[in-house]
């Protein structure tokens, strides 16, 4: 599900997968403002980068859960946002 919640006004948002272990889920979804899904992707390889225009799209990620219940799920992502000084 995509959300439109914004805590700070940003222009671009990037999400870089650092790693994941014993993790199912974590599907990234990008939607148009009207709710249409534009992209779904479950980054699996470290170094996978998603970059989006936060002014024109909504985005969300599905919950991460363990594949093997004997250990925790881990999904490390670096999120960087860029804000313009001009409107």
Residue with tokens 């946002």: 81
Q: Which H or E run includes 38?
A: strand 37-41
- Among 33, 32, 37, residue whose Cα is nearest residue 62: 37
Q: What is the pLDDT along the chain (87 residues), one digit of tens a residue?
A: 676 555 557 889 999 999 999 999 999 999 888 889 999 999 999 999 999 998 888 888 999 999 999 999 999 999 999 988 776
Please give the torsion angle defined by the CA atoms of residues 36, 38, 44 and 46, in that order, rounded to the nearest 10 degrees: -130
The model's pTM is: 0.84
Q: Which H or E run includes 75?
A: strand 74-82
Residue with tokens 């250990």: 71
Q: Which two tokens stand for residue 18?
A: 């650092």
């Amino acid at each position: 599900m995509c959300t439109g919640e914004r805590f700070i006004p940003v222009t671009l948002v990037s999400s870089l997968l650092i790693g994941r272990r014993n993790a199912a889920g974590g599907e990234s979804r990008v939607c148009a403002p009207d709710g249409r899904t534009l992209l779904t992707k479950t980054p699996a390889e470290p170094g996978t980068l998603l970059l989006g225009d936060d002014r024109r799209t909504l985005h969300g990620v599905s919950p991460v859960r363990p594949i093997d219940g004997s250990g925790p799920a881990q999904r490390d992502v670096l999120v960087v946002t860029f804000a313009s000084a001009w409107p």
